[in-house]
Amino acid sequence: MVPVTGPNTLQQLLQQFDAPAKCKTQADIIRDYQVKETMAALELDMLRMDPTVFFTGRHVERDEQNLVHRHAVPCACRPEVVYCCHGKS
């Protein structure tokens, strides 16, 4: 098997950008999906090892006289919850 080498000159590199994009085969699509799933599982495992994030939130409410009351609310969140719920609210 002949090893595949990259472009050797700037001209060859620029010609690659002008070439049409290669169509993915069914095997390429399956492999890309498997890699994506593996990386997502790895990311989730790494986030589970991180400590809980503590912060202070704000709760704002208005009473009958239309006065604004602001309260500091202590909050805690696990990093994997943010990762899993991103874009689902």
> 5-9, 33-37, 43-47: which range is least confident on average?
5-9
To the nearest whole number, what is the mean pLDDT of the chain?
88
pLDDT of residue 2: 61
Q: pLDDT digit string (tens) for 46-78?
A: 999 999 999 999 988 988 888 888 999 999 999
SS3 67: coil
Of the pLDDT bands very low, low, confident and very high (cuts 50, 70, 90), residue 89 is low
End-to-end CA distance of the chain: 51
Q: Which residue has the higher pLDDT, 48 or 9?
A: 48
Q: Where are the alpha helices (DSSP H) in the chain?
A: 10-18, 26-49, 79-85
